[in-house]
Amino acid sequence: MTGGGKDIGGRRGLGSYFRLLGAFGRFSLNRELAFRGNFLMKVLLEVVWLGILLLFFHTIFRNTSRIEGWNEYQYLFFLGCYYALEGLIETLFLENCVEFGELVRTGNLDFFLLKPIDEQFLVSFRHIDWSTAPKVVIGGALMGVGLWELGEPVTAGRIAGFVVALLSGMALAYSFLLILASTAIWMVRNQSLMELWWLFSSLMRYPRDIYEEPWAVMIQKVFTFLLPALLVVSVPAEAMVRVLDSAILAWTVFAGLMMLGVSRWVFRRAIRSYRSASS
């Protein structure tokens, strides 16, 4: 069943994937705007969260000038980067991956497997959660303010490093989510997915330099090389406002590509062992 779907999907050009993505986006936006009050409430919630985050940040820097070498505006850039990246993940993938477990449980996954398009694409991008999209804009604005206040010239090399690292970071986070979602096929009920994702994102929240303490070095190593959660936000932010270190950049890109491959492999394994819910 999956093989057939793949073959037909394989013959489609990249263009049709983009067209489909556009259609998903439009459809989700329409659905979202049908419940405008709820939509506004969700956006308000994000703004409140941001307020708390900024207050936390402000309070800390009222009492210190540096956190492991990050000064206030470098850290503000980091915060914006974290916020934007989390927004991207939530807008594009999070809801889809959480719903995947439900598709498995109800057997509705059948309909997805029959569609003449790559299953992973369909499962990953089906809903665009527009209510978290403002986070990307706000995160971008925070990064802008940080850069402005730092006042250092932004070179093309830094921008390139930032973009590449950001894409790799997204790939890492997406892969992790997809692997977690795939486990739903074997476990049917995966309520811990959100908790594990929360754990993963809590590792992204602060610069990786804070793990320099002797007792935490092991944690730093594990989450840099084995399960590279620490790279997701730190490396793009470092590339832009701190040191542009090509070694860690290369590793981040490599890890991102590798995790994409691994997550695709896990997803396909999972689909292959999927038995529908009817019998």
Partner 1 sequence: MSSVEPPLIASPGFMGSLRKYLRIFRVSLVERLAYRADFLLGTVLRFLPLVTSVLLWSAVYRGSGNDTIEGYTCRQVIAYLLLVHVSRMFSSMPGLASGIARDIREGTVKRYLVQPLDLQAHLLAYRAAHKFAYIVTSALPYGLLFWLMGGYFDWPREPWIWAAWLASLILGFFLGFLMEFVLGLLGFWFLEISSFLYLVNTVSFFLSGHLMPLDLFGGRMAMVLKELPFQYLAYFPATVILGRETPGAVMNGLLVEIAWCLVFLVVGRVALRLGLRRFSAFGG
Task: Considering the complex, state which of residue 16 and residue 192 has its C-beta at the smaller distance from partner 1.
Answer: 192
- The pair of structure tokens assigned to 199 is 């754990």
Q: To the nearest whole angstrom, how small is the minimum distance from the Cβ of residue 65 to partner 1? A: 6
Q: To the nearest whole angstrom, how small is the minimum distance from the Cβ of residue 134 to partner 1? A: 15
Q: How many residues does the chain have?
A: 279
Task: Considering the complex, state which of residue 65 and residue 273 has its C-beta at the smaller distance from partner 1.
Answer: 65
d(CA 56, CA 83): 14
Task: Considering the complex, state which of residue 152 and residue 213 has its C-beta at the smaller distance from partner 1.
Answer: 213
Residue 26, Cβ density class (10 Å: 0-12 exposed, 13-18 middle, ≥19 buried): exposed
d(CA 239, CA 220): 19
Q: To the nearest whole angstrom, how small is the minimum distance from the Cβ of residue 88 to partner 1? A: 21
156-182 and 95-106 helices cross at what angle (nearest 10)?
20
Q: To the nearest whole angstrom, how small is the minimum distance from the Cβ of residue 56 to partner 1? A: 6
The residue ranges that bind partner 1 (CB under 8 A) are 38, 41-42, 44-45, 48-49, 52, 55-56, 59-60, 62-68, 192, 195-196, 198-199, 202-203, 205-206, 209-211, 213, 216, 219
Task: Considering the complex, state which of residue 31 and residue 66 has its C-beta at the smaller distance from partner 1.
Answer: 66
Q: To the nearest whole angstrom, how small is the minimum distance from the Cβ of residue 140 to partner 1? A: 23
Tokens 């979202």: give the residue. Answer: 32
Pairing of strands 66-67, 70-71: antiparallel
Task: Considering the complex, state which of residue 230 and residue 240 has its C-beta at the smaller distance from partner 1.
Answer: 230
Task: Considering the complex, state which of residue 38 and residue 108 has its C-beta at the smaller distance from partner 1.
Answer: 38
Between the alpha carbon of residue 75 and those of residues 58, 82, 162, the distances in Å are 11, 10, 15
Q: Is the CB of residue 165 less than 8 Å from the CB of residue 185? A: no
Q: To the nearest whole angstrom, how small is the minimum distance from the Cβ of residue 179 to partner 1? A: 17
Q: To the nearest whole angstrom, how small is the minimum distance from the Cβ of residue 38 to partner 1? A: 6
d(CA 268, CA 244): 36
Tokens 């934007």: give the residue. Answer: 84
> Smallest Cα–Cα separation from 68: which of 200, 230, 222, 196?
230
Task: Considering the complex, state which of residue 210 and residue 257 has its C-beta at the smaller distance from partner 1.
Answer: 210
Task: Considering the complex, state which of residue 62 and residue 275 has its C-beta at the smaller distance from partner 1.
Answer: 62
Q: To the nearest whole angstrom, how small is the minimum distance from the Cβ of residue 214 to partner 1? A: 11
